[in-house]
Chains A and B, each alone.
Chain A
Amino acid sequence: MFTGQQIAASFAELGVTHVVYLPDSTLGTWEAEFSRSTQFELVRVCREGEAWVVAAGLHLGGQRPIVVIQSTGLFESGDALRNVLYDLKLPLWSLIGYRSYLLPNSTDSAKRFCEPILKAWDLDYALIERPDQLPQIVGHLRACAEQGKPGVVLFAEGKG
């Protein structure tokens, strides 16, 4: 739906300093652009749960990170997410790939549980499912930051 250049430009507009990242087959297509960026650093982690805590340390240290992971990684992240978003009350940003959302007949359990999990965690998310919604990435995350709360961009995946 979007090129890495478009996503990187959105992150640059937000003043993102670090992209804390574990790819999937959609998010991974942005990696070359992320690696080339002079606006932010790319931080690779091994588990998505690590990403939230690295982002927390970056935020405490005065930086502006964003976590970029797939929805399955959101499921893996539970305890770390609880810790940094609720115990530490840090208004972190994330972009989460919504696996199989654009496949109407998919029985992928990752698709079934993604939004219920976000709602259970009481996370404010904007679902991006069409190309004309690109400006919402900046708009939603900026609005969440102004309200001092975490913001999630839920990025529909499933088609090229």
Chain B
Amino acid sequence: MTQPSTVGTDSVLPRMPLLTALEVLRDVRRDEIVVTTMGSAREWPKLSQHPLDFQFLPSAMGHSPMLGLGLALAQPQREVIAFNGDGGMLMGLSSLVSIVASGAKNLTVIVLDNGLYEVTGGQATAGVAARCDFTGMAVAAGFPSVSRYDGLDVWRAAAGKLLQQPGPRFVQLRIAPVGAEYHLPAPTPIVDRIAKFRAALGVK
């Protein structure tokens, strides 16, 4: 049986520019821990050099929600925001269940969904052809707060209230590919990054 093409349908839906979508969060961010990886680790440092930013590099595709969970359990007095790509999320869908099972309330997973494996050059994920519904899966996993934003106006209006919703929270941001700018930067030495991050957390 021939399946209907989903790529054409998907491509006409709105997508936000990645950097602008991240700026919205940067503008409302206070003292939350922010974990970035893959594309977000490339873009977020252009906007933020906060001591509680943790650039999860090199090569940690799909692992960000679990690192965020560990931090959330370790630091229950802080909020943790963990960025993930849609390709990374597809690699670790079971992490949604583990997060809910843990009982952690202070974690927000934000999936930057561009429908592509961007850092490898823009190949389509299987999620596009499957018409994968990330928010539906988050609801099914038991996340009490789940939202999806396709446009900047609605995302901008909602971002400031995001952390007032019951946690853990799941957010899908539909973002546009960045084109030829996909290469990840060489990260600074991990030992230095970890030392600064732990110092900012007050961990010896």
Q: How far is the CB of A136 from chain B (nearest CB, A)?
A: 27
Contact A60 B203 (CB under 8 A): yes
By a CB distance below 8 angstroms, the chain A residues around B101 are: 44
A45 nearest CB neighbor, chain B only: B98
Of A51-59, A93-101, A106-114, A122-130, the stretch lying at the interface with chain B is: A51-59
Q: How many residues of B contact A (CB 8 A)?
A: 31
Q: Which residue of the partner chain, among B59, B73, B92, contacts A58 with CB atoms under 8 Å?
A: B73
Contact B94 A61 (CB under 8 A): no
Of A5-13, A29-37, A81-89, A151-159, the stretch lying at the interface with chain B is: A81-89
Q: How far is the CB of B121 from chain A (nearest CB, A)?
A: 20
- A59 to B190 Cα, complex, angstroms: 15
B109 CB–A CB distance under 8 Å: no
Considering the complex, which residues of chain B in the window 149-196 have a beta carbon less than 8 Å from any beta carbon of chain A?
Answer: 190-191, 194
Contact A59 B70 (CB under 8 A): yes
Q: How far is the CB of B17 from chain A (nearest CB, A)?
A: 29
Q: How far is the CB of B168 from chain A (nearest CB, A)?
A: 14
Contact A55 B70 (CB under 8 A): yes
By a CB distance below 8 angstroms, the chain B residues around A1 are: none
A residues contacting B by CB (< 8 A) are: 18, 41, 43-47, 49-50, 53-63, 65, 80, 83, 87-89
Can you offer 8 A-B residue contacts whose CB atoms are under 8 A?
A44-B102, A47-B94, A49-B92, A56-B67, A57-B67, A61-B70, A80-B63, A89-B191
